Amino acid sequence: MIWRTKSLEAQLKISFIVGLLLQLICSGFLVCTLPWWQVVIIAAMLVVVNSFVFWRIYQKIFVAFRRASVQLEALQNQDYSLIAKPAFYAGKVAEFHQQLNTLGESLQQHKTHYDQQLFLLYRLIDQLNTPILVFDHRLQLSYANAAFADLFGRPWEALRHASPSLLGLVAEPDWQFSDSNKAQQWQIRTSRFIDQGQHYQLLVFINIQVALREGQLQAWQKLIRVLSHEIRNSLTPVAALTQSLQHKITSEREQQALELIGERCQHLQDFVSRYAELHKPLHMEPQWLSAENLFQRLTVLFPDANLRAKGLHINLWADSVFLQQTLINLIKNAIEADSPSGSIEVIFNQREQGNEIRIVDGGHGIANADNLFVPFYSTKTQGQGIGLSLSRHIVEQMGGQLSLANNPDGVGACAVIFLKRPH
């Protein structure tokens, strides 16, 4: 057990010393048969030769280990391009170096595959319309997509390295907004990944209200299809029978009754057709529109309303036809809300991420805000409940948002259209 040592260096040194002692002992025996000066020369030559051989072996062994150590350190730092030159080209040491090179090539292939997946992940993040954030291991914002600005009002580059609290987020126990209103609107899903040896957290923000609205729209569309089928099947024979009776009946009163029945049948058919078209994808042709030209068209359509305007120098990115239709619906609602002449104001504002159109009136305001955008719902005696629902559908198809609320002073209401600028 005297030969057991803690390191290879110590083992080699002990072996050299033991070998040197054995040579000196042998030289002592030679003193008895040879002159002392010859013994000294022989012993000196043996020491020099053995020291040289030992030093060469020592260097060869530790050069091999140093090269392997450098390559292992490079692998640990995810540098797989470094390939150490082997100290030996055959035997166990050469086999060990070959295994290191094979390991490096395998790790390089895995890293390349992982980098490709990570690149595709970031490309996918950029293409998605939902806000996606990436926090590093220090819980600082390191990346986000363009939709970040829609949620936080600023490009993510302006908030790089921001903490969750600065963004109004709470990380523990689960990711959520500290603002209760936003927390009810947005659901946050998280996942983790590793990049360059560092841990990251990926946050995906899902607008629950939009998802619920889409589910409601699908339910309405199914109901509309069923109603359309049943109503048309019932109206067709009624309309045909009415036309047939009109040619046979001569009484003026009965003719008027049949004519009224025919008109109501046609009205119901038109009504069903309009709702059948509701919420279908619209073909948009956005372009830059002058707010001043847009307002002039509105004043021609509503000459008695005495519309007022602000911010007419602004240009808007929208579909001209559909935006005009939306504004017509909203101004018509404001007029029907008993707004006095001259009390309706159209305000164009420029925001950081887009433009805003406000239609402020002085009418009686909104009575039931929860049902504003529900199809078939209307507080008007002659209303069909399609105007606001269609208006919101048009604005959302243009990538914008429509909201309505009563004015803070309690008089009238305000409709707000937000339109994004093109990237």
Residue 150 sits in a domain whose CATH number is: 3.30.450.20
What's the CATH code of the domain at 309? Answer: 3.30.565.10
Domain presence at residue 112: no
Q: Is the dihedral of CA 256, 257, 258, 261 positive or negative?
A: positive
Helix (H) or strand (E) holding 360: strand 354-360
Q: Answer whether 86's CB lies under 8 Å from 93's CB.
A: yes
pTM of structure: 0.47
Q: What is the pLDDT of residues 292-312, one digit of tens each?
A: 999 998 888 888 888 999 999
Same domain, 101 and 177: no
Same domain, 191 and 260: no
CA distances from 415 to 110, 200, 279, 288, 419 (A): 55, 41, 20, 22, 13
Rg of the chain, C-alpha, whole Å:
42
- d(C-alpha 80, C-alpha 73), whole Å: 10
Q: Answer whether 178's CB lies under 8 Å from 169's CB.
A: yes
Same domain, 216 and 142: no
Question: How wide is the angle at C-alpha 397 spanned by C-alphas 395 and 403, nearest 5°?
Answer: 30
Domain presence at residue 121: no
Q: Answer whether 356's CB lies under 8 Å from 323's CB.
A: no
In the beta sheet, which residues pair with residue 24? none
Same domain, 266 and 347: no
Cis before 86 (ω within 30)? no
Same domain, 202 and 88: no
Domain presence at residue 282: no
Helix (H) or strand (E) holding 397: helix 387-397
Strands (DSSP E) found in 154-275: 169-170, 176-177, 186-195, 198-207
From 277, 297, 316, the end of a domain falls on 277
Same domain, 240 and 138: no
Q: Answer whether 354's CB lies under 8 Å from 419's CB.
A: yes
In the beta sheet, which residues pair with residue 192? 201
Confidence (pLDDT) at 96: 76
Confidence (pLDDT) at 376: 46
- d(C-alpha 413, C-alpha 404), whole Å: 7
- Per-residue pLDDT of the chain in tens (423 residues, 90 and over written 9): 445 545 555 656 676 677 667 666 666 666 566 666 666 676 677 677 777 767 777 777 777 777 778 878 877 777 777 776 766 677 666 777 778 888 877 777 777 777 677 677 677 777 777 888 999 989 999 988 888 887 887 888 889 999 999 999 988 888 888 888 788 788 888 888 777 778 888 898 887 776 666 666 666 667 666 766 677 777 778 777 777 777 777 777 777 777 777 777 776 776 666 556 655 667 788 899 999 999 998 888 888 888 999 999 999 999 888 898 889 888 988 888 888 888 889 999 988 778 999 999 988 877 665 555 555 444 444 444 456 777 887 888 888 888 888 888 878 889 999 998 886
Same domain, 220 and 314: no
Same domain, 57 and 90: yes
Tokens standing for residue 298 = 């509105």
From 192, 209, 226, the end of a domain falls on 209
Domain count, the chain: 4
Among residues 106, 95, 69, which one has the least CA distance to residue 84? 69
Same domain, 403 and 414: yes
Sole residue written with tokens 């629902």: 389
The neighbour count for residue 333, using CB atoms within 10 Å, is: 22
402 contact partners, CB below 8 Å, separation of at least 6: 326, 391, 392, 395, 396, 415, 416, 417, 418
From 226, 246, 277, the end of a domain falls on 277
Strands (DSSP E) found in 54-120: none
Domain presence at residue 189: yes
Domain presence at residue 123: no
Same domain, 326 and 379: yes
Same domain, 410 and 298: yes
Domain presence at residue 16: yes
Domain presence at residue 44: yes
DSSP code at position 315:
E
Among residues 150, 178, 146, which one has the least CA distance to residue 163? 178
Which amino acid, 129? Answer: N
359 contact partners, CB below 8 Å, separation of at least 6: 327, 330, 331, 334, 344, 345, 346, 414, 415, 417
Q: Assign residue 161 a region: left if phi > 0, alpha if psi is -120 to 50, beta otherwise? A: left
Confidence (pLDDT) at 146: 84
The neighbour count for residue 291, using CB atoms within 10 Å, is: 21
Coil vs helix vs strand at 168: coil
Confidence (pLDDT) at 290: 93
Same domain, 271 and 235: yes
Domain presence at residue 119: no
List the domain range (segments joined by +) for residue 94. 8-107
